[in-house]
Every structure is written in structure tokens, then in C-alpha cells.
Amino acid sequence: MNFHEKLAASLKYWRETANLTQLALSHKTGINQCMISRWEAGANLPSIRDLVTLADFYRISLDELVGREEY
């Protein structure tokens, strides 16, 4: 699995673990729902600012969020 695929899977995993739809996550974080969808599809990469926002929201490390550490 390449980095894009691993990141996409990890982002989806954390969102689903929080029992959130993409739209609900968008409302809670202020991140555009279309961008969340594109990240989870592996079409785009999030900015470091968005990754920090998500890691803080989930209360996990950036390494966990991007799939460098096992969840």
C-alpha cells in the first residue's frame, strides 16, 4: 500500500471510528466536506494545517492520523 492509499484509509478509519459522516466531520472541524471526500478517495493530500486540525479533533498524534503508528 502506498502513502496516498494508507493516508486515505487512515483518515476514513478515524472518521468512522468517531461515528461521523463526512458532512458531520466538516461541520465539527470547519474543513470542507468535498476535501474530506477527496482525501479519503486518495485524490488529494490534506495540508499540514488540516492534518493538525484532524489530529487535535480526534485527540491523536499526527503519526497515528497518517498511519505511521498502528491504531
Q: H/E/C letters for each residue in 13-65?
A: HHHHHCCCCHHHHHHHHCCCHHHHHHHHCCCCCCCHHHHHHHHHHHCCCHHHH
Spans of the chain, pLDDT less than 50 = none
pLDDT at 38: 98
* CATH assignment, 3-65: 1.10.260.40
Task: Give kind and range of the element (H or E) at residue 4.
Answer: helix 3-17
pLDDT at 35: 98
pLDDT at 67: 83
Domain boundaries, the chain: 3-65
